[in-house]
Amino acid sequence: MTDRLERLINLVIALRETRRPLPAAEIRSRVAGYGQDDPESFRRMFERDKADLRALGVPLDTAPLDRWDDRVGYRIDPRRYDLPAVRLESGELAALAVALEATGLADDAAAGLRKLAVDAGEPDAARAATGPPVGIALDAPHRAALMEAQLTRTTVRFTYRVPGQPPARRTVDPHALVHRSGRWYVVGHDHDRGARRAFRLDRIAGAVGVVGAPGAFVPPDADVGVDDVVPPAPDVAPETAEVLAAASVAWQVARRARGGGEPAHPGWTAYTVAVGDPDRFVGWVLDLGVDVEVVAPPVLRERIVAHLRAVVRQAGG
């Protein structure tokens, strides 16, 4: 697979850079990856490669070698092949910078982002986002290992924790890494379930192990997403919650509150706070422990109670 890909890239470069059509015999001798002793083997390989490039949308043209020669040659017209220059506005550059920070890819894409900013005449726009928005996870554990396994088509095995259930070992063919709503998922074929599943990276415990050699599976042709295996978040989620905070944590709750608090029973203050992502809100409440109580809405109270009951069951209580 690697040799074929390198040969196609070499062919595209040669045909893109030439100023005149190249005959097949010259391609056979000049382009790395060809050079077969048997002309028929070269012909079959070259025909397959031409068909593959055209199927990918590469404008591979045939033209006479010159006006007095009926033989044809091949070239790629740069005007039809090259992408148009990308010109982003300063706001678009800033949004792209935020997106890279939010997905943990800022370091990998820094050089490309700077080039876009310089080409747009806005060299400072790439630094417009000095930090990620509050509540957005920049990265996830195991992302690098799973990305490597996805690229090399290597099966992996890991321990997966689901709230309310005992940890379980899962063996997965990783088809894609997907970022949705501030979380990373690996989507792939679950050997233990015999179906496609999605796994949150922050719920993988311990190390991600490799099973077997690279090239163990063929990825699907269709796009891989999270929504086909994980139900999307509800369209309507509570925007605010009513909470009671003890004096020891009132200052922390007040930072998230909309407006000032109102005195409640002695030692406690009532606040209206923003919810945002319900799962993150539940985590925030649980971090504060017994010094905060969610009064409303009921759906959030039920989430917290369900989570606490699952923790108790897992602890054997």
Q: Please state which of the ranges 35-39, 258-262, 295-299 shows the lowest mean pLDDT.
A: 258-262
CB count within 10 Å of CB 170 equals 18
DSSP string, 190-240: ETTTTEEEEEEGGGEEEEEEEES-S--S---SS---STTTSPPPPS---SE
Q: In the 3-class helix/strand/coil scheme, how is 144-165 assigned residue by residue?
A: HHHHHHHHHCCEEEEEECCCCC
Q: Please state which of the ranges 67-76, 120-129, 156-165, 206-215 shows the lowest mean pLDDT.
A: 120-129
- What pLDDT does 237 receive? 59
Q: What is the pLDDT of residues 51-63, one digit of tens each?
A: 989 988 899 999 8
- Under DSSP, is residue 297 helix (H, G, I), strand (E, B) or coil? coil
Mean of the pLDDT values across residues 131-150?
Answer: 70
Identify the CA nearest to 22 among candidates 38, 4, 46: 46
Domains with residue ranges and CATH for the chain:
2-81 (1.10.10), 143-211 (2.30.30), 240-314 (no CATH)
Q: Please state which of the ranges 29-38, 204-213, 254-263 shows the lowest mean pLDDT.
A: 254-263
Spatial distance between the Cα atoms of 199 and 97, rounded to a whole number of angstroms:
27
Question: CB-based contacts of 145: which residues, under 8 Å, 6+ apart?
Answer: 156, 207, 208
> pLDDT at residue 134 above 50?
no
Mean of the pLDDT values across residues 77-93?
Answer: 83
Mean of the pLDDT values across residues 105-113?
Answer: 75
pLDDT confidence bin for 155, thresholds 50/70/90: very high
- The answer to whether the CB of 73 falls within 8 A of the CB of 21 is yes
Handedness of CA 238, 291, 139, 185 (dihedral sign): negative
In this structure, what are the phi and psi dihedrals at residue 111, rounded to the nearest 5 degrees?
-65, -45
- Under DSSP, is residue 177 helix (H, G, I), strand (E, B) or coil? strand
Helices (DSSP H) in the chain: which residue ranges?
2-17, 24-30, 39-55, 78-81, 90-102, 106-119, 143-152, 250-256, 278-288, 298-314
Spatial distance between the Cα atoms of 226 and 95, rounded to a whole number of angstroms:
23
CB count within 10 Å of CB 254 equals 15
Q: What is the pLDDT of residues 234-257, one digit of tens each?
A: 545 567 888 888 888 777 787 777
